Every structure is written in C-alpha cells, then in structure tokens.
C-alpha cells in the first residue's frame, strides 16, 4: 500500500493593496485549501485621476481562488479598510467579521448599495477566539482614531502571525480601554513567526500625541470664544466628537451635529454606547435661530474642504440653515491630507472673508494622528519579538524606515521582508521569504455606476482633453465619385477661441482638405489611414504655431 502523501502546510500572505501606498488595504492569508481576506479598503482619487470617484483593489487574485475563500475579516471602520466591501460583496458571498461599531458603520454603507440583505455580518470581540479552517484568530484591542479597532494574532500551520491593525499607544485614551499590550507581549513570549505592523508614521520620531491632550487645546479655544463655535472633524473620529461634547457640557453650550455622515455616525455611536451625549444637549438645525451664538457648538463635516461638504457650503454662503457670522470661531480639527491643501485653503479664506476666526493645525495643536510614531513602533517590535518582520500600511519610504527601526531593536536585516502590492510572502518549514513573481494586483477605478470600465487609457485621454482641449475635424465624401460632398469643418473645445485663431484654423482646414482629396485620388482608399494622417498633420501644425497638443478627432463620413 502506497504511503499517503502529506498535504502541504505552507502559509502565504498575499498583499493586494495598501503596501507601498496609503489606502486600498487588502491582504489574503491562505494555505493550499483555505483563504481569509483581511480588510477591503478604498483610496480616494489622486489629482491625475480626472472624474474618478473612488479607487478599489483589483479582485482578480480572489476570483481565481474563490472556491477556498472562507471569510473577510475587518480590523476597523475607516474607509481605507472597509470602503471596498460593497464591491467585494457583489462578487463574493463570504461572511464578514468585524467589531460592533465596524459592522454598524458598514451596514449603513451596504444600505446605500442595496446589499444589506445579502450580507452575512458576524460580530467579533477581543479575547473571543475565532476559528476559520486552519486559522485560529484572537483579536486584540488597539487605540486608533476610531473606536473598536483591533489587531489580531492568528495561529497558522507555520506559527503565530501578529497583525497590528492601525494603532497608536495612547495611555490616556478618551474612551474605552487602552491598547492591550499584555496580549501582544503574551504572544511574544510564546514565539511570533512574523509581525505585520502599521508603518504610516514610521518617519516621525518620539511618541504620537495623546488624544486627551487635543481636548485640552480645544477646551482653551472654546472657553475664550465669545460667539458660536463650529468644529470640523472627520465623521469617523468618535473620540474627538466625545471631547467636544464634554467641553460643550462643561460650558453649558448646546450641540448640533451637521452633515450627512456626521449625523449618521453620531447616531450609531450613541446607540452602541461609544458616544455619550447628555440628555437635552443635542439640538436640531432649526433651533439655531432661537439660541444665541454663545450657546451653541456645531460639529460638522468638511475638514478637508470637500466641495459638497457642510463646511464648504457654509463658506460659500450656500448652506440653507447655517450662515457664518462675524464672531464665529471655526476650528478645523484635522490634518491637511496631501492633495487637499488648495481646497482647504479656499475654505479658510472664504470663512475669513465672512468674518469668522479660523483655527487649524498649522496654528494650534488641534489634531493628533491615530498612528504610532517611532518609539511606539519599536515598543511593539520589542514586545512581540518576531522572527520575521513585515512593515505594512504605508508608502515605500514608510516601509523602508520601519524596516530600519526593526533593525535597531535586533531584527536582522535578512528577516525584514520588504513586501509591496502583488508580493507574496510564503512561510514554510519555519522560514519565510518573498516569492520572486508577483501576483495580479492593481487599481480599479469607480466612476459613477461604472466599476473598472475606466482604464488608464481613458484617464490619459481625460488628462489630454483637460490640458489642451479637443479639435474635431469632419467632412463627408463620396468615394465612388471621388469628391468631397461637404466643406471640411473644424470644431474646437477647450483649445482656442475661433475668432482669435481664425487664420490658423483656416490653414488647418486647408491641410485637412488636401489630405482628404489626396486620399480620394488613391486607387485604394484606406480611410483609417487617412484619418491617422489628418491627426498627425494637424497636431504638427498646432504645435508649431501654438505649442499646444489638442486631441484631434477626425471624422470622415463616406456616402
């Protein structure tokens, strides 16, 4: 009788997003027969992504292995970790695991997509084990800028893997328990095969400022404010909202939550006990007129200058109920996310124009990060003492810096696995290494109802149109009679005013006509080739005279 073959017991970590970039977090944990996905996040479009609403990970790798997909596990409720879940659910029927607040915020998102009835949402709690195939999870409480975040330890056939989640070590948190460093240390004693740790703030020395210290700064500002106070924060920052509620209660001010996501998140947080608002304090927007400005605080969306946000509409005098008055104090209690500086500055200038006083991060300590700085990162490394270290969640500079920090606490350089999107790390026979070949990953663009139908070529064309405009050259011809039926015409959009460049456009019409007539005289008339010749000739002409490269669209209609 032939001996039974031993099944392979390797474990792979496949990074499908969020490693080498900010946002788009998604990772697959798998063996030969089982797979669990960790997080499904989005990223917001960068400047060159004209017209794109959001960006999600490419699910190709998961589609090819859908038969062994067991679950999606979520670490917390920020968009860069749950924003792609609706698109994931449209393709995969796997159960989704998350903490109570994470699932509550996810439910609202799924309602908007009409997917809530199709979702199998399962609650997890720290210290309660979860077994998924060969993987045994223990979730560990961490501090972050949203409540109910977790990291986890997962026991695999190759050993313990520790995932930090997004975290910072805040010893004086606003609400809830501090980060459970004891559990991380416990597994450090048992022996950790690999640590995967948040790298977002790996460049920042020292420790991240405690959230409670931000409350002290806000209290000082609000104490001195003679009139109404408007505070713009991220709608997910429940801890910051709680501090503002506490300050409002201390100074006897009423409180208004404003902005769709702010109203929704504050309601859910109160229902679940993550946000406590004293009875009678919260008011409706219609109550503002009957209260003096000194009696109110408004917590609103719009800290990033988003064009349709509540604060941006106030700054443009376009908000239906809230009008900026002289003496208002507006606090932007957030950082300037790169790429948003111009929009935020515009909002600030408009608020000043209307008579408000504006305070933001550059002039006061009114925001702190939810991510660990260097000393906290080194502490987690020292507590877990991993055999291998994999920096995650950050751009390349963050990953490299985090790897350097790991070496300062004794992890050898050859055991710092610097993975990026598409890399697979395989653990087998007690060792780990990055596979030579990358898997299929990428960015899928969501534009309106279209998912993935906008390619990089389409984006290139949009940039081309935005930069230099469009010229449409059209004419009707009768190939049989070998003659032009209608006069050649040029229509321009975003290129130049016709009256300003009438002579140049007339020259372009003549070039267009000459090429078409030459084509009509040929024995074989290849109109695709003729259109290509028109594009090249007009492009050359316009660049010679204007140094512009408009998109040329030749239309030759054959009768």
Which CATH number fits the domain that encloses residue 175? Answer: 3.60.15.10
Assess if residue 353 is contained within a domain. yes
Question: Beta 388-392 vs 357-359: how paired, if at all?
Answer: unpaired
pLDDT bucket at 3, cuts 50 / 70 / 90: very low
Whether residues 425 and 515 fall in one domain: no
Q: Which residues contact 426 (CB under 8 A, 6 or more apart)?
A: 10, 11, 12, 432, 433, 435
Tell me what pLDDT residue 550 has: 81
pLDDT per position as a tens digit, 509-522: 888 888 888 888 87
Choose among 470, 488, 486: nearest CA to 478.
Answer: 486
Whether residues 69 and 163 fall in one domain: yes
Could you give the CA distance from residue 276 to residue 279 in angstroms, rounded to a whole number?
9
End position of a domain, from candidates 359, 377, 395: 359
Whether residues 124 and 76 fall in one domain: yes
Assess if residue 457 is contained within a domain. no
Domain count, the chain: 3
Could you give the CA distance from residue 337 to residue 241 in angstroms, rounded to a whole number?
19
Whether residues 514 and 538 fall in one domain: yes
- Reply yes or no on whether the pLDDT at 6 is more than 60: no
pLDDT per position as a tens digit, 475-493: 888 877 788 878 888 877 7
Whether residues 188 and 39 fall in one domain: yes
| Catalytic residue annotation | 198, 371
Choose among 138, 171, 180, 147: nearest CA to 380.
Answer: 180
End position of a domain, from candidates 420, 451, 482: 451
pLDDT bucket at 1, cuts 50 / 70 / 90: very low
Assess if residue 2 is contained within a domain. no
Q: What percentage of the chain reaches a pLDDT higher than 90?
A: 65
CA distance readout (Å), 159 to 8, 135, 423: 15, 10, 20
Lowest mean pLDDT among 293-302, 395-404, 448-457: 448-457
pLDDT per position as a tens digit, 45-97: 655 554 556 788 999 999 999 999 999 999 999 999 999 999 999 999 999 99
Residue 96, CB half-sphere, CA atoms under 13 Å: how many?
30
Conformational region of residue 332, where left means phi above 0, alpha means psi within -120 to 50, and beta covers everything else = beta
Number of Cβ within a 10 Å radius of residue 13: 26
Across the range 111-125, mean pLDDT stands at 94
pTM tops 0.75: yes
Mean pLDDT value across the chain: 89
Whether residues 447 and 347 fall in one domain: no
Tell me what pLDDT residue 54 has: 75
pLDDT per position as a tens digit, 365-388: 788 999 999 999 999 999 999 999
pLDDT per position as a tens digit, 332-351: 998 887 767 888 999 999 99
Assess if residue 69 is contained within a domain. yes
- Reply yes or no on whether the pLDDT at 235 is more than 70: yes
Tell me what pLDDT residue 407 has: 97
H or E element, residue 186? helix 181-190
Choose among 471, 474, 472, 473: nearest CA to 558.
Answer: 474
Domain of 483 in residue numbering reads as 469-558
What residue has token string 């792979």? 12
End position of a domain, from candidates 311, 341, 359: 359
Whether residues 348 and 483 fall in one domain: no
pLDDT per position as a tens digit, 434-446: 999 999 888 777 7
Across the range 9-28, mean pLDDT stands at 95
Burial 30-68 (b: 16+ CB within 10 A, else e): bbeebbbbbbbbbbbbeeebbebebbbbbbebbeeeeee
Whether residues 15 and 39 fall in one domain: yes
């Amino acid at each position: 009788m032939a001996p039974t073959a031993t099944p392979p017991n390797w474990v792979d970590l496949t990074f499908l997003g969020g490693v080498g970039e900010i946002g788009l977090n998604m990772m697959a944990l798998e063996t030969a027969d089982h797979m669990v996905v960790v997080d499904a996040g989005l990223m917001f479009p960068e400047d060159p992504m004209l017209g794109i609403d959001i960006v999600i990970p490419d699910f190709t790798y998961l589609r090819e292995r859908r038969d062994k997909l067991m679950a999606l596990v979520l670490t917390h409720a920020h968009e860069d970790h749950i924003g792609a879940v609706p698109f994931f659910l449209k393709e995969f029927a796997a159960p989704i695991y998350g903490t109570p607040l994470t699932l509550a915020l996810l439910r609202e998102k799924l309602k908007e997509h009409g997917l809530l009835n199709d979702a199998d949402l399962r609650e997890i709690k720290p210290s309660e084990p979860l077994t998924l195939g060969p993987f045994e999870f223990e979730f560990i409480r961490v501090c972050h800028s949203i409540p109910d975040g977790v990291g986890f330890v997962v026991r695999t056939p190759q050993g313990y893997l520790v995932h930090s989640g997004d975290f910072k070590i805040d010893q004086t948190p606003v609400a809830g328990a501090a980060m459970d460093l004891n559990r991380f240390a416990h597994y450090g004693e048992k022996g950790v095969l690999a640590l995967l740790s948040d790298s977002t703030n790996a460049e920042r020395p020292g420790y991240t400022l405690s959230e409670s210290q931000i409350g002290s700064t806000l209290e000082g500002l609000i104490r001195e404010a003679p009139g109404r106070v408007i505070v713009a924060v991220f709608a997910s920052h429940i801890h910051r909202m709680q501090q503002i509620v506490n300050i409002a209660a201390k100074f006897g001010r009423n409180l208004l939550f404003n902005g769709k996501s702010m109203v929704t998140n504050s309601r859910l947080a109160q229902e679940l006990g993550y946000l406590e608002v004293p009875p009678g304090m919260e008011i409706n927007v219609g109550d503002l007129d009957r209260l003096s400005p000194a009696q109110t605080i408004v917590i609103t969306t719009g800290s990033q200058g988003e064009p349709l946000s509540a604060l941006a509409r106030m700054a443009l005098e376009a908000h239906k109920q809230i009008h900026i008055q002289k003496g208002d104090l507006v606090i932007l209690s957030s950082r300037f996310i790169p790429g948003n500086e111009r929009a935020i500055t515009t909002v600030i200038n408009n608020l000043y124009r209307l008579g408000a006083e504006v305070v933001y991060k550059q002039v006061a300590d009114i925001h702190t990060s939810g991510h660990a700085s260097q000393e906290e990162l080194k502490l987690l490394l020292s507590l877990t003492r991993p055999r291998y270290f994999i920096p995650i969640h950050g751009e390349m500079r963050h990953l490299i810096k985090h790897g350097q920090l790991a070496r300062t606490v004794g992890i050898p350089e050859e055991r710092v696995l610097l993975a990026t999107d598409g890399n697979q790390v395989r653990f087998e026979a007690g060792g780990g290494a990055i596979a030579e070949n990358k898997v299929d990953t990428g960015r899928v663009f969501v534009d309106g109802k279209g998912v993935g139908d906008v390619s990089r070529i389409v984006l290139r064309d949009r940039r081309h149109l935005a930069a230099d405009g469009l010229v449409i050259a059209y004419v009707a011809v009768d190939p049989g009679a070998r003659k032009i039926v209608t006069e050649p015409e040029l229509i321009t959009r975003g290129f130049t005013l016709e009256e300003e460049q009438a002579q140049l456009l007339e020259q372009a019409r003549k070039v267009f006509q000459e090429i078409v007539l030459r084509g009509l005289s040929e024995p074989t008339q290849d109109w695709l080739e003729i259109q290509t010749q028109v594009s090249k000739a007009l492009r050359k002409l316009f660049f010679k005279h204007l140094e512009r490269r408009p998109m040329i669209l030749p239309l030759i209609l054959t009768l």
